[in-house]
Structure 1
Amino acid sequence: MPYFLTNLAAKLIGLYINILSYLAPTAANRIAYMYFSKPLRGRLKKDRLPIILREAQQETITYNNAVFEAYVWPGNETKVLLVHGWESNASRWKLLISYLKKSGCTIIALDAPAHGLSSGDEFTIPHYAEFVNVLVNKYQPQYLIGHSLGGATALYFQAHYPNPFIEKMVVLGAPSEFNSILQNYRKLLGLSNRVFNKLNAFCIECYGMDLKDFSGAAFAKKIDIPGLLVHDRADETVAFKEGKRIADAYPNATFLITNGMGHRLHDDGLYNRIYDYLFNEKQVVSNEEIA
């Protein structure tokens, strides 16, 4: 859908929610949260899986009344777990997987809640982190790689689920502040103060903490394993300052800055750097910039 139509549809939805908030405030709040937490893209059909996922060993895992899909490309005892972002699925790792395979490692990926073949209609970072925790305990990977909200989930996971398995993290294009995400959503739909304040209170109830504390930077402060953080200066989806906040807070992180790769961060040169960081133990200079 062209951007201007997408933007117009968002504004019309926001107008409807704003009006409904005076007539049926509970329903308005429920609809506002639904649009905030429900991905519109990223689903997969089992009979139409991308080739990269058909090449993997698939496992459907049931956990706390939820079902999620995991994919394993078998290799040696070194294991890497891949955590994708919003409105995506495990197939987003196709290019990186081709690099990781060169090491001979075992690669594990999963579909987030309400994405890919996993169940549900709602995505939250704490719920996603529960899925990650199941796989970390099952496969005991040494390396964890996350992109976008998958990167934020990786930070949340490592801060809230201490474990002896993860030795290094790679976090790509992750947002830091939950409040920033919420404010962007408010701006997109043009939500009134009345609706936004109720949505904010509802999110605090759902996440079980003040949203000011729900921060990638706050989570990063608690992590002591080495991490490689990557963010593009021209990222139009997650502002560069978000990645910088995480890097400044993470005590044992290297911050790699890219130019012109955008939010997706699909690049041969970058993937070579990630490969070297994980498997060749080559030093990456913090705040180094690559094109």
Structure 2
Amino acid sequence: MSTARSLPGAAIRAAATISPRAGAAVAMPFFAHVAKPRPVHTDDAPTMSLARRRTLRIPGIDRRGVDVAVYEWGRGPRTIVLSHGWLGRASQLSALVREFTAEGYRVVAFDGPAHGDSAGRRMYLVDWLDVFADLQQRHGRFDAVVGHSFGGLAALVGVAGGVEADRVVTISALADADEILRGFQRMMGCSDAVIARLRERFAARYFPGDPDPFAWLSAVRRPLPDGIPLLVVHDRGDRFVPFGESVRIAAANPAAHVMPTTGLGHNRILAADAVLDAVVEFVTTDASSPAPSRAPVPPTVAAPARVAEAVVAG
């Protein structure tokens, strides 16, 4: 564990010896705080240089307003929205940008608050939902929302909550916001009691009047509407988001097509040929008649049991 993570963890655990509430009070400033943004990888820079860029302003987690960088490639009426994950940025999805623009889509991506070139140092799931709302107003119904990790959960929650999209693809996604708390707990090494108090404190501060906001920030407790095709991609050896999260997503959405992979981890999966092919085919199949009530159309890689396996050494 890095010093940046071990010092807050030690402070939280020390405060927790007084009481779980004291530990939660110390933990609160670190939860939803985002470290320094990662740089654009050299392999992704050419794609990012071709983007049309604009800035939109959303309320932000503190509801004080925050500027978000938005990127757009391609033109035309068919729109794909790409949603990156925690500590990620839009540039990580460059391979998908290239694939979809080659298919004639308009592709829109963004850097969430405190990520990439966007402002702020804190963010949460509702920020992604606010971005989706702005993009929907500008572009209308989406042909698909493709989300990675935290951004996959945001895609599921957004479409379940009314964002209009014909299809959803998740890659290495979380099943609910409680997994964010569990991940924070693993990182900081704090107790269940501290996390329970942190959950209460976070809800009271950012969702006053809502007794359990985590109930609707969940792809398990709030599945997609019937008729929205879903492709779930996840690597069995993912060390950051357990593969079991996608099992939970699929269980809550029985029509979902599941594509497990091996050897791709949490991030390399975004540029793997087998994954790119499956995602593009899933989105483009029958794209000429994207009625939201139609039956899900599996990618050609899907086996009869709706499960495909992409195996990549390393």
TM norm structure 1: 0.86
Q: CA deviation at 1:138?
A: 1.0
Report the secondary structure of 1:170's partner residue: strand
Q: Is 207-216 or 117-126 further displaced after alignment?
A: 207-216
Q: CA deviation at 1:27?
A: 8.0
Q: CA deviation at 1:23?
A: 7.7
State yes or no: 1:279 paired with 2:284: yes
Q: CA deviation at 1:56?
A: 0.6
What's 2:230 paired with? 227
- The correspondence of residues 1-291 of structure 1 with structure 2, limited to 5 A, is 4=1, 6=2, 9-20=4-15, 29-42=24-37, 50-64=45-59, 65-140=65-140, 141-163=142-164, 166-192=165-191, 195-205=194-204, 206-207=206-207, 208=210, 209=212, 211=214, 214-222=217-225, 224-264=227-267, 265=269, 266-281=271-286, 283-284=298-299, 285=302, 286-291=306-311
Q: Is the 8 A contact 1:179 1:212 kept in 2?
A: no
Deviations along 1:194-238, one digit per CA (max 9) or x if unpaired, are 533321211332354253664222232545411111111111111
* Backbone CA RMSD of aligned residues: 2.6
Q: Is the 8 A contact 1:175 1:243 kept in 2?
A: yes
Structure 1 unaligned regions, length at least 5: none
Counterpart Cα distance in 2 of 1:148 and 1:195: 25
Q: Is the 8 A contact 1:113 1:119 kept in 2?
A: yes
Q: CA deviation at 1:74?
A: 2.4
AA aligned opposite 1:179: D
Structure 2 unaligned regions, length at least 5: 60-64, 287-296
After superposition, the Cα gap between the structure-2 partners of 1:134 and 1:101, relative to the gap in structure 1 and judged at 3 Å, is same
AA aligned opposite 1:234: G
Counterpart Cα distance in 1 of 2:81 and 2:88: 16
Q: Is the 8 A contact 2:233 2:260 kept in 1?
A: yes
AA aligned opposite 1:175: L
Q: How many residues align?
A: 281
Deviations along 1:52-78, one digit per CA (max 9) or x if unpaired, are 222111011123322111111122321
AA aligned opposite 2:155: A
Q: CA deviation at 1:149?
A: 0.2
Q: Is the 8 A contact 1:43 1:114 kept in 2?
A: no
Counterpart Cα distance in 2 of 1:260 and 1:43: 23
Q: Is the 8 A contact 2:136 2:163 kept in 1?
A: no
Q: Is the 8 A contact 2:239 2:266 kept in 1?
A: yes
Q: CA deviation at 1:114?
A: 1.3
Q: CA deviation at 1:26?
A: 8.0
TM norm structure 2: 0.80
Q: CA deviation at 1:261?
A: 1.3
Could you say which structure has the higher helix fraction? 1
What's 2:289 paired with? none
Q: Is the 8 A contact 1:44 1:117 kept in 2?
A: no
Counterpart Cα distance in 2 of 1:35 and 1:78: 39
Q: Is the 8 A contact 1:159 1:223 kept in 2?
A: no
Report the secondary structure of 2:120's partner residue: coil
Counterpart Cα distance in 1 of 2:239 and 2:129: 25
Q: Is the 8 A contact 1:114 1:122 kept in 2?
A: yes
Q: Is the 8 A contact 2:72 2:106 kept in 1?
A: yes
AA aligned opposite 2:7: L
Q: Is the 8 A contact 1:256 1:289 kept in 2?
A: yes
Percent identity reads 25
AA aligned opposite 1:269: A
AA aligned opposite 1:271: L
